[in-house]
Amino acid sequence: SVPFLIRLFPDLLLTKFLFLNFLAFPFFVDLRRPELLLNNTVSLYLATEPDVTVGIWHTVPGSRGAEAQGKDQRWYEDALADAHPVIIYLHGNGGTR
């Protein structure tokens, strides 16, 4: 019956059940506080448009981990301006976008 339902409702089934974009995972975790999940990580927010704010996790590499211990958000912002490369990874689902 699944192939028949996919044939009848392709947009609904493929977007909702293939990607599961209505679930927020991991459950019961405050994603606004990444330092609880990952070492050397802070959450930054950028206002891209008048009503749009984008949340960003900034994680420094392990080689700078000892240097990042106990630093505030300003240190992480300054670390973005140094000569090290920045890798941008965009990800989200319906519950966390």
Is the model's pLDDT at 65 over the cut of 80?
A: yes
Q: Is the entire prediction scored with pTM above 0.85? A: no
Q: DSSP readout, 30-93?
A: -TT-GGGTSTTEEEEEEEEETTEEEEEEEE--GGGHHHHTT--HHHHHHHTTSSS---------
Are 55 and 45 within 8 A, CB to CB?
yes
Question: Looking at the chain, how many residues does it have?
Answer: 97
Whole-number average pLDDT of the chain: 78
- Which whole number is the average pLDDT over 69-78? 87
Exposed/middle/buried for 42, CB within 10 Å: 0-12, 13-18, 19+?
buried
* CA quadruple 73, 74, 77, 78: dihedral, nearest 10: -140
Domain definitions of the chain by residue range: 21-80
